[in-house]
Structure 1
Amino acid sequence: SVVHPIMPPESWVFGEFPGATPDHLYGAHALREIYERAEPGYDGVVTVPVLWDRSRETIVNNESSEIIRMFNSAFDGCGARADVDFYPEPLREAIDALNAQIYENVNDGVYRAGFAGTQQAYERAYDRLFATLDELETRLSHHRYLLGERITEADWRLLPTLLRFDAVYYTHFKCNRQRLVDFPNLWGYTRDLLQRPGVRETLRMDHIKTHYFTSHPRLNPSGIVPKGPIVDFDAPHGRG
């Protein structure tokens, strides 16, 4: 199921919006109801994504990085492609190190900049973000993917932040030294990953922009969602 992109203060909800769906299992209105089904009386934070066990009727996990790791191998014995491995044994140490750097400075770095409470905190996050993007741009000038010529978990964990960068983080979070499209290698790399079979149809830029620009009233009190920018993710990536 896919929640409505506008997040009320109390919880994510299911509702009518292009690309959103009802709760197909229980007909819940709010995602909090699903958390409470797993743990009656739950009063913690409600987040997405949620990996739900239909048989046991409980939440397996709600942390995206851990769900990605699970999907790599947990379902190999029940229909998933066991021949696809994004966390291969010889590269695990390098993947973990790169994941840590990218999470700290890029995935979470844009939020550190966007929600900074002081000029100093904002500039620290901003500088670390673009220093890391510069490093990745150089790395991708030598390799098709972050760790060579094969896609790994590190690539998939970086991709969502890159996809949102020009439409959201550049303006909404003031990460405005450069746009993604101004990094030739990162921009081609983003299109390369997005154009892999089965990936492009998961991108809903209308959901992304609606969520960010309406759910952070401190950053955007009017709630106006910008119409642009026009980003051609379908242009040839030239990295094959």
Structure 2
Amino acid sequence: MSQKLLIPRAISRSISIRSPSARIRFLKTSSRLFITTNTTRFLNKKDVSNITFYPAFTQLRTMSSSFRDHISSAPDAQFQPEKGRYHLYVSYACPWATRTLIVRQLKGLQDIISFSVVHWHLGEKGWRFAETDENIPDAGPDDLNGAKFIRDIYFSVNPDYTGRFTVPVLWDKKLKTIVNNESSEIIRMLYTDFDGLVADEYKNLNFYAPEYAKQIDEMNDWIYDTINNGVYKSGFASTQEAYEKNVLRLFEALDRVEDILKKSDGPYLLGKTLTEADIRLFPTIIRFDPVYVQHFKCNIKMIRHDYPVIHKWMQHLYWDIPAFKDTCNFEHIKKHYTKSHTQINPFSITPVGPVPDILPKSE
């Protein structure tokens, strides 16, 4: 008879496993996770070495992104671009969700696609909406569907849904369904699919232009693995060996970015043109000094002190392009990490520094 494998809930809320056991699901108790396969057989001890732990909202392609439809103006497309039809559910704390808000504003879609922001706290039932009397700045109830949790949105589409309840969620108000919950696909829809509806000044803005596509894809691959996800693999590492391996790879990658920007003939990763590569990297870099340095033990260097070219790049995006500053909420960011991850910070104390969260351009 198979022996149950008990994983402390504090380790992580999402697990990837490489074994013959195929897909997995989680049965929560008050103090631990029971991990079972899709055949409800409990994992054997031999599977332990194949388990990789990830943070609560890391976008693992095979596990979290279950809705993968697309908006298209093709005549037979189910999801046509229309003003007021679509809605984004996001968290200001989540770097993956923040990407979609940045692009929404860069493309002038504020009056075309609405959005709701969840509470910064990620609890037992996942992301929840703030109550009016909580007075959480820039967050509130779900006025569109009346959901209490993001999970309610998922269950409204599929009552038997067994995946993870992640943000962002691109919601179709007309068909009352989820179009897509993969941030990398959502932002690409926003680049061009609504060009028939936006003002002329936004129509030619494509942050994944064909002439840059190959370079963007190559850059996205290693930046995602070593930086975007690297901070989480460092912070949620359950052994010293895993932590050191990932944190060293992280800073090697940051050194690489510093060198790329130093050699760039413009203010961006690929020169004079803002591209998806910049958009995908920014949410990680803006969180680095305020959160990842101390909370995820990514403290070999700091952006503001040790990476002058990355720092200048980040300051330019934040201070000079409103879409980046307007969608960055340091209160949500700092409180989310420090008060949601009690396995890392059991007393939920939020550090005051660094002060300020981002330095002015003059410094």
Contact kept? 1:6, 1:214, Cα under 8 Å: yes
Contact kept? 1:136, 1:186, Cα under 8 Å: yes
Gaps of 5+ in 2: 1-115
Gaps of 5+ in 1: none
SS of residue paired to 1:78:
coil
Matching residue of 2:121: 6
**1:62-93 residue CA offsets vs partner (Å, 9 max, x unmatched):** 12222122211121122262211100101100
Tell me how far 1:210 sits from its aligned partner. 0.7
Q: 2:139 & 2:224 partners in 1: Cα distance?
A: 28
Q: 1:197 & 1:220 partners in 2: Cα distance?
A: 33
1:20 aligns to 2:139 (yes or no)? yes
Q: 1:73 & 1:225 partners in 2: Cα distance?
A: 40
User: Which of these residues, 82, 93, 96, is aligned with residue 217 of structure 2?
Assistant: 96
SS of residue paired to 1:141:
helix
1:59 aligns to 2:183 (yes or no)? no
Q: 2:220 & 2:362 partners in 1: Cα distance?
A: 24
Tell me how far 1:237 sits from its aligned partner. 6.9
User: 1:187 corresponds to which letter in structure 2?
Assistant: H
Contact kept? 1:189, 1:237, Cα under 8 Å: no
Matching residue of 1:73: 192
User: 2:269 corresponds to which letter in structure 1?
Assistant: L
Matching residue of 2:52: none
Matching residue of 1:180: 303
Percent of aligned positions with the same letter in both sequences? 46
> 8-17 vs 78-87, which deviates more?
78-87
Map 1:1-240; keep pairs closer than 5 Å.
1-15=116-130, 16=134, 17-79=136-198, 81-143=202-264, 144-182=267-305, 183-195=307-319, 196-231=321-356, 233=358, 235-236=360-361
Q: 2:117 & 2:126 partners in 1: Cα distance?
A: 14
Q: 2:326 & 2:304 partners in 1: Cα distance?
A: 21
Tell me how far 1:236 sits from its aligned partner. 2.2
Tell me how far 1:234 sits from its aligned partner. 6.0
SS of residue paired to 1:77:
coil
SS of residue paired to 2:248:
helix
Contact kept? 2:154, 2:165, Cα under 8 Å: yes
TM-score, normalising length: structure 2 = 0.63
* Cα root mean square deviation, aligned: 1.5
SS of residue paired to 2:350:
coil
User: 1:193 corresponds to which letter in structure 2?
Assistant: L
Q: 1:210 & 1:73 partners in 2: Cα distance?
A: 35
Go from structure 1 to structure 2 and tell me whether the alpha carbon gap of 1:201 and 1:163 turns closer, same or farther (over 3 Å shift).
same
Bigger radius of gyration? 2
Contact kept? 1:180, 1:187, Cα under 8 Å: yes
SS of residue paired to 2:178:
strand
Q: 1:9 & 1:166 partners in 2: Cα distance?
A: 27
From the two aligned structures, give the one with the greater strand fraction.
2
Contact kept? 2:330, 2:357, Cα under 8 Å: no
Tell me how far 1:192 sits from its aligned partner. 0.9
> 138-147 vs 167-176, which deviates more?
138-147
Q: Which runs of 4+ in 1 moved over 4 A?
A: none
**1:18-44 residue CA offsets vs partner (Å, 9 max, x unmatched):** 111211212211111111112223232
User: 1:217 corresponds to which letter in structure 2?
Assistant: T
